[in-house]
Amino acid sequence: MNLLFVGDIFGNPGRAAIKRLVPALRRELELDIVIANCENSAGGKGITEKIAQELFQAGCDVLTGGNHIFAQKDSYDFIDREQRLVRPLNYPNGAPGRGFVVHTSEAGPVIGVINACGRSFMGPHYDDPFRALDAAVDQVSAETPIILVDFHAETTSEKVAMGWFLDGRVTAVVGTHTHIPTADERLLHRGTAYITDVGMTGPYDSVIGDDKDIILEAMLSQMPKRFEVAQPREVALCAVLIDVDTQTGQAKSIRRIRRELVD
């Protein structure tokens, strides 16, 4: 099975990249399923129902979240209803939505998709992601051996630790949140595909998606500024392609994909 995981979709430039590039990638790479992180897709923070439907129509099968998933307050009911969207499962009990989904792709294989947030430098309101994922993997593995974990975290050490913690129990642990793709994609010892950060799908003529001039002014002046999504000049889609053994759930390979959005 060919699985594509697309890194953090940032604002309108990121959405444009999805609409233009994902349909072509599905054909070129003979993709069976596309999973994408959507937590920055609405103006850099959050998701809306309208935007989610646009992403589904463009070829995304499942959407994952992160620490900004609830930034758009009008989206709470939608997040609670939409079965193809997962938010971090280690939010406290009572948060809208779900932390994992078992999805049947058009190609047939059933895949579990789990989302979690790290705790290092991410705020104090998340439950322990290690224990939360330990329990969720046990539950999902009863239905399918193919499991992808989107671990949305700030520090490389916490992400690497999670990779080793889940090695052999899930198909892939892919890191999101820092918006800069890392070059450490690999198969861990027990067959789990791993990368510390997939990178961003959005404007790279920016500071991790935001207008670089505003960010530079804020850093130089140390005065509060209203951040804005960078205007699309250098837009790219960053993803990883994972070849999955559908019988065992182990990954056979993982490689980085980067495609420029060219007018």
- Name which of 152, 190, 184, 155 is nearest 170 in CA terms: 190
Report the number of distinct structural domains present in the chain. Answer: 1
In a domain, 211, yes or no: no
In a domain, 217, yes or no: no
Per-residue pLDDT 10s for the chain (263 aa) are 999 999 999 999 999 999 999 999 999 999 999 999 999 999 889 999 999 999 999 999 999 999 999 999 899 999 999 999 999 999 998 999 999 999 987 766 899 999 999 999 887 689 999 999 999 999 999 999 999 999 999 999 999 999 999 999 999 999 999 999 999 999 999 999 999 999 999 999 888 888 888 888 999 999 988 888 888 788 999 999 999 999 999 999 999 999 998 87
**CA pair distance 252, 250, nearest whole angstrom:** 6
Range of the domain at 44: 2-201+233-260
Give the active site residues.
68
In a domain, 222, yes or no: no
In a domain, 158, yes or no: yes
DSSP run (H or E) holding 156: helix 156-166
**CA pair distance 205, 231, nearest whole angstrom:** 8
**CA pair distance 18, 184, nearest whole angstrom:** 24
The values of phi and psi at residue 33, to 5°, are -155, 145
**CA pair distance 247, 148, nearest whole angstrom:** 15
CATH number, position 152: 3.60.21.10
